[in-house]
Amino acid sequence: MNPFAEYLIAALLLLGGAFSLIGALGLARLPDFFTRLHGPTKATTLGVGAIVVSSVLYFSSLGEGIGISEILITVFLFLTAPVSANMLAKAAMHIGVKTTDDTRGNPWEQ
């Protein structure tokens, strides 16, 4: 395999792993439900994105054609992540989850 491709793939894997780890740390460190929602839906988006890109690069550098299925995984991930985040936020607002005291503004009632 091309050494340049190898370095690039390794770098992307490290980046993806780092972002997934930071997303998990965010889940543990952030103060309330709504802020915790940001960690896993976001930092992880880039984490999985980087890992998928490295997978595409790996299989295309082996000469097995471009991995369409990896691209589809990314598309589905990007389609579903906002929907689940929205559902979680709505459910939390519905049952009135407490926010931290320094949150400005209020979730509305309707």
Residues that bind another protein (CB under 8 A): 18-19, 22, 25-26, 29-32, 34-35, 37-39, 41-43, 45-46, 49, 68-69, 72, 78-79, 81-83, 85-86, 89-90, 93, 99-100, 102-108, 110
- Report the residue number, 2 or 80, with the smaller CB distance to another protein: 80
CB proximity list for 49: less than 8 A, separation 6 or greater:
16, 74, 77
CA distance 16 to 22: 10
Tokens for 8?
Answer: 């690039």
Q: Which amino acid is at 33?
A: F
Shortest separation between residue 63's beta carbon and another protein, angstroms: 17
* C-beta separation of 41 from 84 below 8 A: yes
- Report the residue number, 2 or 17, with the smaller CB distance to another protein: 17
- Report the residue number, 2 or 100, with the smaller CB distance to another protein: 100
Q: Which amino acid is at 67?
A: G
